[in-house]
Amino acid sequence: MARSALLNVMVQAALKAGKSLSRDFGEVQNLQVSVKGPGDFVSQADFKAQKIIHDELLKARPTYGFLGEESEEIKGTDGAHRWIVDPLDGTTNFLHGIPMFSVSIALERNGEIVGAVVFNPATDELYTAERGGGAFLNDRRLRVASRRVLSDCVIGCGVPHLGRGNHGKFLVELRHVMGEVAGIRRIGSAALDLAYVAAGRFDGFWEVGLSPWDMAAGILLVREAGGFVSDFNGGTDMLGTSSIICGNEHIQKALAEVVKRPIPTK
C-alpha cells in the first residue's frame, strides 16, 4: 500500500492525537469536562487532540482551510482545499471509559473528499483511504460486506441525543429496520460506524443529525471499499443534509427504502 505524502501527514497527525487521547483515557477521571448543551460534553482531551491535529496539518499545508469540531472554521487562502476534523469522535464513550472512540481527519478538494483517516487508539486500528486508491485497515485492503438480503445483515445506527433530533421519527425508523434485519448495533462514534461498514463488519449504517466532521472521512472509506453512500433524499449531499445511509449497492438501496418507510397512520 503506497500512501501519498499528504495522506502520510494526515496519518501522522491522527497517530499523534491518538497518543494524547490514550494518555488522557488512562486518567479520564482527572479530566476537565465542560457541557456544550444537554448531554453534550467536551473535555480537555478533545481540545488537546484538536490542537495537535491543527498544528500538524497546518505546518504541512499552511494555506488549507480547517474545519474542526472544537473551533471556529478557518478559511484557507488556498480556495480549493479544506481539512475536516473531529479530534475525538465518541466523547461520551471516552468519558465513560468505553474504548470505542476515534480521531477523524478528511481532506476535501474542490468540495470532494479525497483523503481520509479514522484512527481508534484503543484498538490501534488505523483506517485510511485516498480517492481512487482503495480503503485500508492498517495494511489490509478493505471491501464492504457482500450480503444481499437484509435479514442476514447487521446494521449500525445512531440514536438522537438528549434535546436534539426527532426522537419519534427515529423510533419509527428503528421499528421498521428491526423488523427486517438480523441485528442492530450502536457504537456512538459515527466515524467508526462508517469504518466498520468499509471493513465489512457492519452491512450498513444510517444516522440523521450528523455534522460534517462526524462523516467526511468515513464517507470516503465506505466508497473506496466499494460501498454506496447517500443522504436521506437519495442524493449525495450528506454534509449539507446531515444525513447518511450506506452499505453495499444492494443493502444501501434496501436499507434506504426501509428507513424512509412512511410513519404508520395508526
Closest to ligand 2AM by CB, 90 vs 115, is: 90
Closest to Ca ion by CB, 93 vs 248, is: 93
Can you tell me which of 24, 207, 214, 224 binds Ca ion, judged by CB under 5 A?
Answer: 214
Query: Does 24 contact Ca ion by CB under 5 A?
Result: no
Can you tell me which of 115, 158, 218, 227 binds ligand 2AM, judged by CB under 6 A?
Answer: 158
Q: Which residue has the cell 480517492?
A: 131
Closest to Ca ion by CB, 56 vs 214, is: 214
Site for ligand 2AM in 39-68 (CB under 6 A): 39-40
Indicate the pairing of strand 183-185 with strand 154-157: parallel
Closest to ligand 2AM by CB, 23 vs 36, is: 36
Site for ligand 2AM in 213-252 (CB under 6 A): 214
Least distance to ligand 2AM, CB of residue 1, Å = 27
Can you tell me which of 51, 109, 131, 161 binds ligand 2AM, judged by CB under 6 A?
Answer: 161
**Among ligand 2AM, Ca ion, none, what binds residue 18 when CB lies within 5 to 8 Å by partner kind?**
none
Can you tell me which of 56, 89, 108, 130 binds ligand 2AM, judged by CB under 6 A?
Answer: 89
For ligand 2AM, how many residues bind (rule: CB under 6 A)?
A: 16
Can you tell me which of 113, 190, 199, 225 binds ligand 2AM, judged by CB under 6 A?
Answer: 190
For Ca ion, how many residues bind (rule: CB under 5 A)?
A: 5
Residue 106 makes CB contacts below 8 A (sequence gap 6+) with 83, 84, 85, 113, 115, 116, 117, 213, 216, 217, 219, 220
Stretch that binds ligand 2AM, among 57-65, 83-91, 246-254, 258-266 (CB under 6 A): 83-91
Query: Does 121 contact ligand 2AM by CB under 6 A?
Result: no
Closest to Ca ion by CB, 88 vs 106, is: 88
Query: Does 69 contact Ca ion by CB under 5 A?
Result: yes
Q: How many CA atoms lie within 13 A of 226 on its CB side?
A: 12
* Contact footprint for ligand 2AM (CB under 6 A): 39-40, 69, 86, 89-92, 158, 161, 164, 188-190, 207, 214
